[in-house]
Amino acid sequence: MKISEAREKVRPHLTKERYDHSLRVAEVAVELAEKFGESAEKAELAAVWHDHAKYRSKDELKRWIISSRLPKDLLDYHHELWHGPVGAILLEREYGLKDKDIQNAIHYHTTGRANMTKMEMIIFLADYIEPGRAFPGVKEVRETAKTDLTRSCWMAARNTIQFLTNKQTLVYPDTFHAYNDLTRKLTGGL
């Protein structure tokens, strides 16, 4: 699928603000892919598609989770996490895009996971640091992303966990697994 076709298909599913966000994520993803030796074309496609299911109804997202191979424990966590995993399924079912690198990058873009591929880390990070984001800690992550993909993803996971625990809300286990895995990679730990 060409990027122009992807943009055309995604646009009707998003608000103008969310569509603009997706385009900024795509710009950052391409930069990261080129810097860290991944396919810029795949990174751009994954970034453009990453939020395409975000405004589907909670009921529809729930039905997809129940009727698919997705982990049912997703339903025990905030519905904001559902659009990534469901979006990865819809990309194949509704648009015929069967690239596992792109699908997995979309699936894990909000939570991360242990043993993320480089493409998964790129989309996870691009979504976190795109220029429209402004929250405590993002500037430091952006700066680190210029030279160290693993450390910047670790920082993003750490910041996300801190943010959620400070709000006294649940943290999806994949985010903890991502943080622990990245910590091991950075420290040479167990």
Reading the chain (190 residues) residue by residue, the pLDDT tens digits are: 899 999 999 999 999 999 999 999 999 999 999 999 999 999 999 999 999 999 999 999 999 999 999 999 999 999 999 999 999 999 999 999 999 999 999 999 999 999 999 999 999 999 999 999 998 899 999 999 999 999 999 999 999 999 999 999 999 999 999 999 999 999 986 6
Check if the beta carbon of residue 42 is closer than 8 Å to that of residue 103: no
Phi and psi based region of residue 37 (left: phi greater than 0; alpha: psi -120 to 50; beta: remaining)? left
Please give the pLDDT value at position 1.
80
Check if the beta carbon of residue 149 is closer than 8 Å to that of residue 157: no
Tell me the two tokens of residue 142: 């952006």
Tell me the two tokens of residue 86: 């469901």
Q: Which CATH number fits domain 3-134: 1.10.760.10, 1.10.3210.10, 3.90.1150.10, 1.10.600.10?
A: 1.10.3210.10
Please give the pLDDT value at position 17.
96
Please give the pLDDT value at position 190.
61
Please give the pLDDT value at position 108.
97
Please give the pLDDT value at position 188.
84
Check if the beta carbon of residue 25 is closer than 8 Å to that of residue 45: no
Tell me the two tokens of residue 59: 């009921």
Domain ranges of the chain: 3-134
List the one residue out of 132, 140, 134, 133 whose CA is nearest residue 158.
140
